[in-house]
Amino acid sequence: MPQKASFHAVVSGRVQGVFFRMFVHREATALKVCGTVRNLPDGRVEVRAEGERSSLEALLERLRKGPPRAQVTGVEADWDEFMHEFDRFDIEY
């Protein structure tokens, strides 16, 4: 059985105003990952995600690249136990 986990990540760089949240939503949905993505007041983007560990690792790799207009300078991620907090992936506005 696949191992499930969750993470909280904060993405730095030019990540607002470049469709980053939409990019994360599309990638997470394709990977069957649940959670949320939102802009932070300081210009960073926060991602909370849960699902199969391998899918989460793939999502983290994609966060490090971002969409074409983004310039990611850092991704800080903290791993945690799977808590089944989410049933889908949502963009928070």
Give the predicted TM-score (pTM) of the model.
0.96
Question: How many Cβ atoms sit within 10 Å of the Cβ of residue 93?
Answer: 6
Of 38, 39, 53, 62, which one is the catalytic site residue? 39
Closest CA to 33 of 45, 19, 47: 47
* Residue 1's pLDDT band (cuts 50, 70, 90): confident
Say whether 2 sits in a helix, a strand or coil.
Answer: coil
Closest CA to 42 of 89, 74, 68, 69: 74
44 an active-site residue? Answer: no
What residue ranges do the domains of the chain occupy?
A: 4-92
Q: Could you tell me which CATH number the domain at 4-92 has?
A: 3.30.70.100
For the segment 41-67, what is each residue's pLDDT rounded down to a tens digit? 999 999 999 999 999 999 999 999 999
53 an active-site residue? Answer: no
Return all residues near 54 (Cβ < 8 A) that are at least 6 apart. 2
